[in-house]
Amino acid sequence: MRSISRSIQPVYAPFLHPKHTTKIQLSNSTPRPAWTRAFHASASLRVIDLAYSLHDNQGRAKGDPIVIIHGLFGSKKNNRSVSNALARALDRPVYAVDTRNHGDSSHHKVHNYIAIADDVEAFLKKHNLKNATLIGHSMGAKTVMTMALRNPDCCANIIPVDNAPVDAALSSDFPIYAEGMQKAERAKPKSQKEADELLQPYAKDLPVRQFLLTNLVRPAPSEPLKFRIPVKILTDALDNMADFPFTDPEQARFNKRALFVRGTKSHYVSDEVLPIIGRFFPRFELVDIEAGHWVISEKPEEFIKAVVEFLQEKDE
C-alpha cells in the first residue's frame, strides 16, 4: 500500500472531460455560481428518512461518529464487518446507512447526488451527529464529496473510496448488471439458484452476482423473488451517477482533511484527475490499495488500516 501526501500541486490547465469529451475549466475565466443553501433546500426534492445500522462495539464506542455510505446497488449490509472493526479500533460509533432506493430505505423517482446528499445531511441532523467522518464508496464517495463541498460544516473530514470529483462514465459493467437484474426479475425466479443462472450472462464473476443477489427478496411465501431495489429507477439514474454537481474549484472547496482511497486496478481515480482533486480538496491525501473498484470488500484489512491511520493522525 502506497501513500501519497497532499504535496501534489494543482494545475490550472483545462482537463479533458472523460465522459463527454468536453473540458473542465480550472481557471477563473468562466466563473460559475457557487452552490447555495437555497438550491440545497429545493422544494422539488423530498428528503428520505434513511434506514441504518449502528455499530458501537456494544455501546462502548463513545467517540465522534463515522457514517459510511455504500455504492450503487449496495446496502448497509455490505459494510457490516468493516463497520464493526472500525468501531472497535477507533472507539467511535459507526452508522452504516442505506441511501434512497437501496436496502431498507424508501424509493423515490429522483436519484442524483443532490437528493442523496440532502438525505444524508438530514440523517446527520436527525441523529445529532456532529464532527462526523463521512466514508463513501463509489456512489457513496461522490455523495460525501458533494456534502463536503456544499456544506463543509456538516463533517470533520471525508474518506471517498475509488471515485473522483469529475463527470466520468461509469464502468460499462453497471448498465449490464442493471439489464441483467431487469431480465431476471421479469422471469419471476422461484429460487436464488434460478436467479443466479439468469444473471450469469450479465455478471460473469460469482462474487459480483452474489453482491447483486443480496437485493433479492421474496415478498410473500408463494410469490417469486424480486429485487427490493427499484431497478428501473436506478437504471434511469445511471447518467446521474456518472456526473458530479461541482465543476469549478474556485467556487467550492473543502479545506479540511480528506483521504482518497483508490484501487490500483480500477480506472475511477486515474493519475490525471489528481490535480483537480487537489483543487477541490487542498488537504487531500491518497492511499493506493492493490484492488479493483470493490476496494473495501476485496481488501478489507488494508482498507481498515488506512482509515485507522488517517483518523488517528492529529488534525493540525
Residues annotated as part of the active site: 138, 293
Helix residue spans in the chain (DSSP H): 37-40, 80-90, 113-126, 139-150, 173-186, 192-199, 206-213, 231-236, 238-242, 274-280, 295-298, 300-312
From CA 45, how far away is CA 42, in angstroms rounded? 6
Only one residue has cell 422471469, namely: 187
Taking the CA atoms of residue 67, residue 72, residue 73 and residue 79 in that order, the dihedral angle to the nearest 10 degrees is -30
As a whole number of angstroms, the distance between CA 153 and CA 262 comes to 25
- Judge contact between 174 and 268, C-beta under 8 A: no
- C-alpha cell recorded at residue 30: 468562466
CB 143 within 8 A of CB 99: yes
Whole-Å CA distances, 277 to 4, 15, 19, 155, 237: 13, 12, 17, 18, 24
Distance in angstroms (rounded) separating the CA atoms of residues 41 and 22: 30
Neighbouring C-beta atoms of residue 87, cutoff 10 Å: 22
Assign residue 239 a region (left: φ > 0; alpha: ψ between -120 and 50; beta: otherwise).
Answer: alpha
d(CA 90, CA 208): 30
Q: Which region, left, alpha or beta, applies to residue 27 given φ > 0 means left and ψ of -120 to 50 means alpha?
A: beta
